[in-house]
Chain A
């Protein structure tokens, strides 16, 4: 970073959000304590400051929430679609109106830069509610026959990487199709879901239609196992996803799982290099790489490897890591000590296995959970860092010689969530995209999201699609 033109601190104001010292569970339209009175603390990952104390849901609370959702289901599902749409449109508008507050809140609780919550998370959250609000009275035309029916109570468990956006992906289609919801946010990022509960009240949503039960994995397991839940939707790790699949097998519950990934970003020698570099950086360093569809494997044609790596390293040296609330921050904090430990361990494995590690000169703050943007070169398919999902700002660089080899290496993964293709040749984009086993394939871009586009994985990246018309199916009895 040039020292002549040093950007002065430009922090977004914390005063736009009022975080209470403690929060309850949101069940049947009311905030309540946990039955056993348990609470847990949620901290800001960039400073380790305790933000609030949150009631911790246990089995009894989950049961109460499911009962409330069941009770609300009858009336909610009987509403005309146009009436349900009104609530969803109202929620979408309130989210837009409160987006600055929610962006600051999400940045505090998650650790990601305000630039991302402001310009990516919150606009996408509102767009998702608007999009599914539009479907609510048009379900007859969704391709599932006349008057498709909802499933009932949806038990939804979401991760900490995009807390409010994953909530939107789960709740918006569920409500549009006439289901009611019990949602468990991740234990490290419960706050935006609880603010969403307040938005539901503000929108006048009938009691029990949305219930929020913050807690740990045990609460999620209770929710998934609850006999009166008709639909399970989970986004998170492949290990937990497999456990859920085993748990609900034979129960008659409909399941969608959105799990891990090890996305291949394939750069051909005729790629638009400067834009490819941006796409690679966005693909792996967006949200500190804590993105299931991150482009964590760079497959670069051997003939341009050195040139591309020089450009990439130069670009990484301009990344600004630090206070997530600063509007000029590109790289924020890792979400938790646990995740930081996992990233650290996998990076050490990469080094131990002989891959070459590189990071730009970069000072890490002393408090909080931080990991410098990291490249591994000389990586082969046999390296752990080329196979395991790291879920952090770590890019593994591999090479290929021909398009066939690129496809073979890209597909040689237990995962199949995302891929990117960089070439100026349109015919090659189409040919390669057709051969990739990945739920989403981006061409000359990466990490672009839109509520109209279905999202989901092949293989151990899960099944079912969220978003678009396809996303309705997961919540309809079809």
Chain B
């Protein structure tokens, strides 16, 4: 445990201590939270600001394919797109990462070659998380051994909703340890809460704190596999959590909204949330990511519009 976290050491000593701490966090007023997120959504981002935001958003994408039908060919296509999102314009930034299932990590790694695009792998019996702990840890170690730079784990929503907060905390800690490579370095750990299943904003704030206390490098909204995924409000709430955590511990934690962000307009709204809630420290793909797939093409079309002055169309971006 980092020394800065010692202040919180006593809150994770028992289930009841952790419960008292989590339930002592300030409540979240749902109406007010959503109103604030909506108000920031009315910011008008034009011209130079839009160009900056589009390139930043592209560079923050974890380009994702998480389907049962994923093949090496599909993953290679995705990797190629991550490196050169717009083949007609080499000034387009690379995406932050490609995000795949553990068995596709080696393929993705090979396809990316030396490019500065990370390989993120979901793990821990994604997306449901319904497996025994040893299975989840083996899943994680397997992905790390195959070369994953980042692990996107899911928490056990069942344990969390049943009030077994310490179990949730211990799971994250165990996965974090499983992220350590033989050379002592570690894959960065993103912790998915599946906010749509946690349902209340109070739960999302509590889950965020469990994740951060357990050593998450990123907290992430969702798997993209349920009805409600990333929303401006739940992302704003998680940004407030990482802001407060940094203020109290000095430790910076990243945020990754995932699922349902499909348009440039939406992505820019999320960047405005980042800018006005946590500021420029998080305006980098080191600390903020979008879990998305179709978003990239819309960003590319808007980018082309800005540089050429006219809209191209879906045939002028690659379909993968």
CA distance A275 to B29 in the complex (A): 6
Q: How many residues of A contact B (CB 8 A)?
A: 25
List the A residue with the shortest CB-CB distance to B51: A8
Of residues 34 through 55 on chain B, the ones whose CB sits less than 8 Å from some CB of chain A are: 35-36, 42-50, 52-53
B319 at the interface (CB under 8 A from A): no
Q: How many residues of B contact A (CB 8 A)?
A: 28
**Quick one: given A7-B45, A115-B42, A327-B42, are A273 and B26 in contact (CB under 8 Å)?**
yes
CA distance A10 to B49 in the complex (A): 10
Asked if A272 and B29 make an inter-chain contact with CB atoms under 8 angstroms apart, the answer reads yes
A contact residues around B29 at 8 Å (CB): 272, 275, 424, 444
Asked if A8 and B48 make an inter-chain contact with CB atoms under 8 angstroms apart, the answer reads yes
**Quick one: given A4-B283, A5-B283, are A10 and B33 in contact (CB under 8 Å)?**
no
Of residues 1 through 51 on chain A, the ones whose CB sits less than 8 Å from some CB of chain B are: 2-10
B1 at the interface (CB under 8 A from A): no
A contact residues around B35 at 8 Å (CB): 278
Asked if B275 and A270 make an inter-chain contact with CB atoms under 8 angstroms apart, the answer reads no
A119 at the interface (CB under 8 A from B): yes
List the B residue with the shortest CB-CB distance to A271: B26
Q: Which of B32, B33, B53 has the most chain A CB atoms inside 10 A of its CB?
A: B32
Asked if B27 and A272 make an inter-chain contact with CB atoms under 8 angstroms apart, the answer reads yes
User: Digit string of A400-413 for contact with B (CB within 8 Å is 1, else 0)?
Assistant: 00000000000000
**Quick one: given A5-B271, A5-B280, are A119 and B53 in contact (CB under 8 Å)?**
no
List the A residue with the shortest CB-CB distance to B283: A4
Asked if B283 and A2 make an inter-chain contact with CB atoms under 8 angstroms apart, the answer reads yes
A contact residues around B275 at 8 Å (CB): 2, 4-5
Within the complex, which residue of B28, B279, B280, B283 is in contact with A275, where a contact is CB–CB below 8 Å? Answer: B28
Within the complex, which residue of B44, B46, B52 is in contact with A5, where a contact is CB–CB below 8 Å? Answer: B52
A-side interface mostly: loop
A279 at the interface (CB under 8 A from B): yes
User: Digit string of B249-290 for contact with A (CB within 8 Å is 1, else 0)?
Assistant: 000000000000000000000010001100110010000000
B69 at the interface (CB under 8 A from A): no
A contact residues around B240 at 8 Å (CB): 274
Asked if A424 and B45 make an inter-chain contact with CB atoms under 8 angstroms apart, the answer reads no
B132 at the interface (CB under 8 A from A): no
CA distance A10 to B36 in the complex (A): 20
**Least CB distance, A199 to chain B, in whole angstroms:** 26
Within the complex, which residue of B26, B31, B44, B283 is in contact with A445, where a contact is CB–CB below 8 Å? Answer: B31
- Ranked nearest first, the 6 interchain pairs of A and B with the lowest CB-CB distance are A275-B32, A10-B44, A2-B280, A327-B44, A272-B29, A424-B27
11 contacts between A and B (CB under 8 A): A2-B283, A4-B52, A4-B280, A5-B49, A7-B44, A271-B27, A272-B29, A275-B33, A318-B276, A328-B44, A444-B32
Taking A4-B280, A271-B26 as given, write out 20 further A-B residue pairs in contact, using a Cβ cutoff of 8 Å, ordered by the A residue number.
A2-B275, A5-B53, A5-B56, A6-B48, A6-B52, A7-B43, A7-B46, A8-B45, A115-B42, A119-B42, A270-B26, A272-B27, A274-B240, A275-B28, A275-B32, A327-B42, A327-B43, A424-B27, A444-B32, A445-B31
